[in-house]
Structure 1
């Protein structure tokens, strides 16, 4: 499955069946890429399946692809990480979501924290959640993942902490001596990243009371959108699939 644009379509893939592309991807394929009938495309359903397909209709109002072959996707990390990310403004949160997906995160929960300066309610929160989920899907299109991680509805930090059951739980805590000292590979990880102003003392204490261990990323203070990139890279290198031992398969 090495030719044509890669598109997320939440549909059932049946060899010989037709799939109507969603409005956004359809517009991109027909008007930006100017692909016509017979052009190859690659589809993934967001739940783990990839499909090789060909366009059988490429009009201004409707684009249809016919499935030629279906196969399991690749690109999933063997280490499931649930990222609890304090909500930041605008592009910073988009960046954190995008890069976390590229680095194999399994799930993301945006968090309300004491020092966080973003508060969303009602329709505004729902729109933001849809936007972040779309950012995650777009990141999957780019990086080759066939499973789109779920971006869960935002939660207060205390509520998210109360839901955690991962055997390894880490909270980014600058200025500590916290390091990845565990030798065995955990079945899953919870990773907590605070806002630009950092987590409060009471929030750090609450995390520790929920069996979180402190993790320091060195002597420099990282921005809230940079921290998950570095932390996830370390986790994937230590316990996941960034150790260089797996052969790279080019698209």
Structure 2
């Protein structure tokens, strides 16, 4: 039962040495050229408003000297939210439910931030290990705790995103498996619950994308 349940997250559709399901990661890129040749629409204006708001917020978190860096984090948000939303459609593989995808996003960012910080702001990075006002007796423990919290950051980012994507999809699959054998009254309840869960998953798709991008921005702001 568990094998069949989690098989929806397996990239099994493939030809030799080329898993085609992972190509769903790039479906979001199909929508980008549309913005350049279509006339302005409400969806276009809404997306421009979202990206402008994110740019201002990330710029505030990073500071005035890193204005160009916001493009990277807005692009990161766009990639994740596209994959989260497209995963809600039937027969589209949800790549953000895999640690292979989420770790590929968080780990390079964390390694880059840490490398830049320790090479260019070594004294600040050492000072960041001991919060201000820490008693001398607790300093070794605080250094250990801060070091562990820094090391596990890419893992927590990756697991948070993947776990939230898996949890909602599993609930949808568990409910849909009971549909064929259910009576008419129970089927109506299942369909109503499915619609509510889809609305919830749409909200989770946006929230988790925002959380991933904001936390990445905060981690980048700490190295200055």
Decide which structure has greater strand share: 1
Q: Which has the larger radius of gyration?
A: 2
Decide which structure has greater helix share: 2
TM category (shorter chain) comes to under 0.3
TM-score (norm 1): 0.22
Larger RCO: Structure 1 or Structure 2 (Cα < 8 Å, ≥ 6 residues apart)?
2
TM-score (norm 2): 0.24
